[in-house]
């Protein structure tokens, strides 16, 4: 991944070590994060983000789920549906992730930390942890939410099978304006239709 800012390269290297640690517990999250980073960056470029926003987007997307390092194995690796209490604990990963990135105290870490905190907010305000809505959600977090949803549904995980691309697009269309930003969804469709990010048939990760 290309990062131009030398300080952010240090932040990336620090956090990469944690990502490797998480990978030993949950390889699926690590691979998912790498795909979300690439799709998020493509959407970010087409959205006309500034250079510094793009850099923060790449860092935040790479490590958006790093907070899962703080989730117990019996929840993180559970192959079936969560109980309400387990789901409550799982939702903490965005706040834990934000805290981990902020703890590096490297320049740029604050911006990436805020994006990670808000990557599960919904456009209509129904997400977590803060129930932010519309433009109150950082644009980089709105982009990661789209890339995260797409990748989660097109890839086989321990708790669900991959859905076909048209079905995923239909689900995301229905969620537009509720979960996802309509303007960013238009850009997402352009990126996806370019073919670069089409799901590989039958892949699992």
- Identify which of residues 26 and 65 has a Cβ nearer to Fe ion in the complex: 65
Cβ within 8 Å of residue 29, ≥6 positions away: 22, 23, 65, 68
Which of 26, 65, 121, 151 is in the footprint of Fe ion by CB under 5 A? 65
Report the distance separating Cα 27 and Cα 22, nearest Å.
7
**Choices 9-17, 57-65, 74-82, 139-147 (CB under 5 A): range interacting with Fe ion:** 57-65
| Structure letter (DSSP) for residue 81 | P
The smaller minimum CB distance to Fe ion, of residues 65 and 121, is found at: 65
Whose Cβ is closer to Fe ion: residue 10's or residue 96's? 96
CB of 48 to Fe ion, least distance (A): 25
Q: For 111, which DSSP code?
A: H
Query: Do 178 and 168 touch, CB atoms closer than 8 A?
Result: no
Question: With CB under 5 A as the contact rule, which of the stretches 60-68, 125-133, 139-147, 179-187 interacts with Fe ion?
Answer: 60-68
Site string for Fe ion, 136-175 (x = CB under 5 A): ----------------------------------------
Nearer to Fe ion, 36 or 169 (CB): 36
Q: 170-199: which residues touch Fe ion (CB under 5 A)?
A: none
Q: Which stretch binds Fe ion (CB under 5 A): 9-17, 64-72, 132-140, 173-181?
A: 64-72
User: Closer CB to Fe ion, residue 10 or residue 89?
Assistant: 89
Distances (CA, A) of 198 to 69, 142, 165, 178, 190: 29, 20, 8, 24, 12
Q: Which residues pair with 176 in a beta bridge?
A: 180
Q: How far is CA 88 from the centre of its chain?
A: 18
Give the residue at shortest CB distance from Fe ion.
65
Separation of alpha carbons 55 and 168, rounded Å:
28
Number of shown-chain residues binding Fe ion (CB under 5 A): 1
Q: Residue 177's CB: how many other CB atoms inside 10 A?
A: 14
Give the footprint of Fe ion on this chain (CB under 5 A).
65
């Amino acid at each position: 991944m290309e990062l131009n800012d030398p300080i952010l390269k240090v932040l990336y290297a620090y956090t990469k070590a944690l990502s490797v640690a998480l990978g030993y517990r949950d390889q699926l999250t690590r691979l998912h994060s790498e795909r979300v980073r690439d799709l998020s960056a493509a959407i970010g470029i087409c959205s006309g983000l500034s250079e510094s926003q793009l850099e923060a987007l790449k860092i935040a997307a790479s490590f958006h789920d790093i907070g899962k390092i703080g989730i117990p194995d019996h929840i993180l690796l559970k192959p079936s549906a969560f109980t309400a209490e387990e789901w409550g604990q799982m939702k903490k990963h965005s706040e834990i992730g934000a805290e981990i990135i902020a703890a590096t105290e490297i320049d740029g870490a604050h911006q990436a930390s805020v994006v990670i905190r808000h990557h599960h907010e919904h456009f209509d305000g129904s997400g977590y942890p803060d129930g932010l809505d519309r433009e109150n959600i950082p644009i980089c977090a709105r982009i990661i939410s789209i890339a995260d949803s797409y990748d989660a549904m097109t890839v086989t995980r321990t708790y669900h099978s991959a859905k076909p691309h048209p079905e995923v697009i239909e689900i995301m269309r229905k969620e537009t304006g509720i979960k996802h930003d309509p303007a960013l969804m238009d850009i997402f469709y352009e990126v996806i239709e370019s073919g670069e990010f089409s799901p590989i048939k039958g892949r699992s990760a």
